[in-house]
Structure 1
């Protein structure tokens, strides 16, 4: 549960193939905002649960689960594929005017109508297996462990591939599109399409595709500044 003395929540969606622990290097709070890593079904502490299937299904499920803790202003953050999951959740919440997010931070991802985009989407399971082994960072990971993570990654990528939201825009929350200067996976120049989906502010931060994992100071500053600016604008 988030601390009671924080005025704002930042709900952080894990990216493809990962769980909430990917945010373990992030602080518990950014100013008056509590950082809340979300655990999605089918991984880590929820590995016994079925995969959500689509971002639309995930948004519906997370809306029901998070309702009791969304007793204050909140924003969402997602990187790469998780940006789309966060965006769909924000859209779902915005349909209820009393619980619309303040800001939707989308990092290193093209707009929904410009996708699906990314080299991982076209990889075979054997190629994804190599990716998983490298991500795990273990000298000799067991086949069972690798198989499990590959299955999660494949299912997450499948959700990305079929995401085709309706083209309706929303002014209920601010979209803040964060690109990265040295990102070769999703070059920041491909992110301009987010402006078609609502009120949008774009920025480019120094770093590569994985820079966000370590919660660099300039990212935290951008998140805090965005939340504060969008809260004042309400």
Structure 2
């Protein structure tokens, strides 16, 4: 294993050089890495690394790419030094498309390939993106973000909520113009996670992932944003998938 020498602008901290695997966790629309603040740094030898996207938090002045494919390409380049152990991308809702496009790009390249793809609460890339967020106005988006902040146990700051409502609107616009890459079935296994009480995207709406490759659809207990609580059963699946990929 190559030693990890420095921290990337895409990460909050320098990865550990001694782990057996890494899961790169991509924040969902309108959010930064704080959505993963309850997640452990490591579990069963697998490291969880929250990805810092352009245009938010420490990268507020960085330009967000216009397409998921361009964003995935930039992310891969920034994370390249840390793909030296079995790894996977985890994307929830909107960010499932980033995780998917990053996996597609790496499978098309001559470099390291992901051991798995992990997606949560989103339809497959070839299916039409739907959901109540797509029809919300600015005030409604701000209220939705405020709820997310409260779900994480914090009090929303009105000015920050307004800023991130603009980011959320831009993220949703990226979804509206999305045209999925068509690589044929992925060679790595796909784990798709639905949530039993999810009113945003039901597990039945996620069956299209089977067209993208060998897919296991798992329904876990909880609502749409339960991922902020670092559900142990989800973390166990993410770890076991990487160990199986060794």
Shorter chain as denominator, the TM-score bin is over 0.9
8 A contact 1:100–1:172 mirrored in 2: no
2:111 is paired with a residue whose SS is: helix
CA shift digits 1:147-191 (9 cap, x unpaired):
311111011111122221133323331111111111111000111
- 5+ unaligned residues in a row in structure 1: which ranges? none
**TM-score of the two chains, using structure 2 as the length reference:** 0.88
Count of residues in correspondence between the two structures? 230
1:22 is paired with a residue whose SS is: helix
Tell me, in whole angstroms, the C-alpha distance in 2 between the residues paired with 1:93 and 1:157. Answer: 25
Other-structure match for 1:174: 189
Tell me, in whole angstroms, the C-alpha distance in 2 between the residues paired with 1:191 and 1:147. Answer: 31
Other-structure match for 1:151: 166
Tell me, in whole angstroms, the C-alpha distance in 1 between the residues paired with 2:54 and 2:86. Answer: 24
The verdict on how the C-alpha distance between 1:53 and 1:165 changes in structure 2, with shifts beyond 3 A counting, is same
1:45 is paired with a residue whose SS is: helix
2:126 is paired with a residue whose SS is: helix
Which segment drifts farther, 185-194 or 196-205?
196-205
Other-structure match for 1:8: 21
CA shift digits 1:97-139 (9 cap, x unpaired):
4311011101111001212121101111222122223334476
Which segment drifts farther, 67-76 or 8-17?
67-76
Tell me, in whole angstroms, the C-alpha distance in 2 between the residues paired with 1:222 and 1:69. Answer: 21
Q: Which one of 2, 5, 17 corresponds to residue 30 of structure 2?
A: 17
The verdict on how the C-alpha distance between 1:81 and 1:140 changes in structure 2, with shifts beyond 3 A counting, is closer
Q: Which one of 67, 70, 90 corresponds to residue 83 of structure 2?
A: 70
Quote the RMSD (CA, aligned, Å).
1.6
Q: CA deviation at 1:146?
A: 2.7
Q: CA deviation at 1:27?
A: 0.5
The verdict on how the C-alpha distance between 1:13 and 1:168 changes in structure 2, with shifts beyond 3 A counting, is same
Q: Does 1:204 align with 2:240?
A: no
Other-structure match for 1:52: 65
- 5+ unaligned residues in a row in structure 2: which ranges? 1-13
Tell me, in whole angstroms, the C-alpha distance in 2 between the residues paired with 1:136 and 1:109. Answer: 21
